[in-house]
Chains A and B, each alone.
Chain A
Amino acid sequence: MAATLVLLGKIWLWAGAAVAAVFLTFGLDRIDEDAQEAYVFRPLLIPGVLMIWPLVLWRWWHIERHGDITMARYSPVRSAHTAAAVAMSIAIILVLSFGWNARQDWPGDVAPVQMTKGSDE
């Protein structure tokens, strides 16, 4: 299980590295004219791209296809956002509760069992 999680983490980060390499060298210039000929800040974006590279790809594709949607960010909060916020809050409580209940109890009532005697006994 642990090895699988580590493998999935590696795959995620390597994919993020590939996206970061392409996006920060070519893609950024195509979708943000303010970033053109500005390079020093780009390495600072690498850790973030490694983590959220699917969102970076989606935004890149969206802007390439539909143009910048910057102003859309300032639209009023949608009703679906409220439901999402409530759902996430409930999920956090459920995850904490599950984790709390999944904790093991110290096996203080389990006595040591001698299965065979030692050669010196």
Chain B
Amino acid sequence: MSDKPFFIGYMPAPEGLRAFLVIVAAAVIGGMAGASWVLGVGQDDPGPGAVRGDYGRQNLMGIVELVPYPLLHVVEGSDTIPEGTTLMMSAGNKAGVDARALPLDGQLAAVSGVVMERGDLQMLQLRGGRRGLGPGGGPMDIPEPVDMGRWRLAGEICDGKCLAGAMRPGRGLAHRACAAMCLLGDVPPVFVSSQPVDGEEFMLITGPDETPLPKEAYDFLSQYVSVEGTIKRHGDLLVFSIDAATLKLTN
């Protein structure tokens, strides 16, 4: 039988191992605390995005437009969302509202939900079924879009719901998998521009000619990219229709 001291957790520490035990325990605790601090300070600021439950439920009337993601041009607003606002819409969890919005394209609709907000980006998460999105009075004229030409922008492709405040962080590599799941669930994608375009930092991003965002773009989610495309203003929201072949990492 060896005379070497042997430590068992439920017995008093042997005399010869106590100093070693104290050093190891201090190193582990200090090391973990240090690693936590380093990892914490290394993270990007998640920003001001938040679910604004404090605004209360928003009951609005507006014209639905599919570009191809559903937008709402508000014609009867609230204290929080005034008339003339153009909103993106999503459902609960990682889902869009395409199926519910499709039969209402170009029509007045009654919507109800809660707002997520980051700066001037607003996303309305609708209640379930027709309580969240239902017919409001028949066809109406959709505001005419304004062509702003072709642009080359740098920035990041995100999902509009998490970016607006559903998640913290709602952008960046740490959020990449979540963003991909949201976009696969038809949540409207948003491009965050490195610098404002016509005063707007956030814009809906689509494929060419306002088709769904091409799958090639999903490979670039949450990374910093440059990309070319055309921009149109729909109401007070910019829609960036990209040419996916021009996507490349910025550095």
Contact = CB atoms under 8 A, between A and B. Distances in A.
Interface of A: 2, 100, 103-121
Nearest to B225: A107
Interface string B31-74: 00000000000100000000000000000000000000000000
Interface residues on B, range: 20 to 34
Contacts of A108: 194-195
A100 B196 CA distance: 28
A111 B226 CA distance: 11
Interface string B126-157: 00000000000000000000111111111100
Contact of A107 (B42, B149, B154, B228): B154
Contact of A103 (B173, B228, B230): B173
Summarize B's interface: helix, strand, loop or mixed: strand
Interface of B: 42, 146-155, 173, 193-197, 219, 223-224, 226, 228, 230-232, 249-251
Contacts of A121: 147-149
B31 to A, nearest CB: 12
Given A103-B173, A106-B194, A112 B151 contact: yes
Contacts of A2: 219
Given A112-B193, A115-B228, A107 B250 contact: yes
A119 B232 CA distance: 10
19 contacts: A2-B219, A103-B173, A104-B223, A107-B224, A107-B251, A110-B195, A110-B226, A111-B195, A112-B153, A112-B154, A112-B195, A113-B153, A115-B149, A115-B228, A116-B150, A118-B148, A118-B230, A120-B147, A121-B149
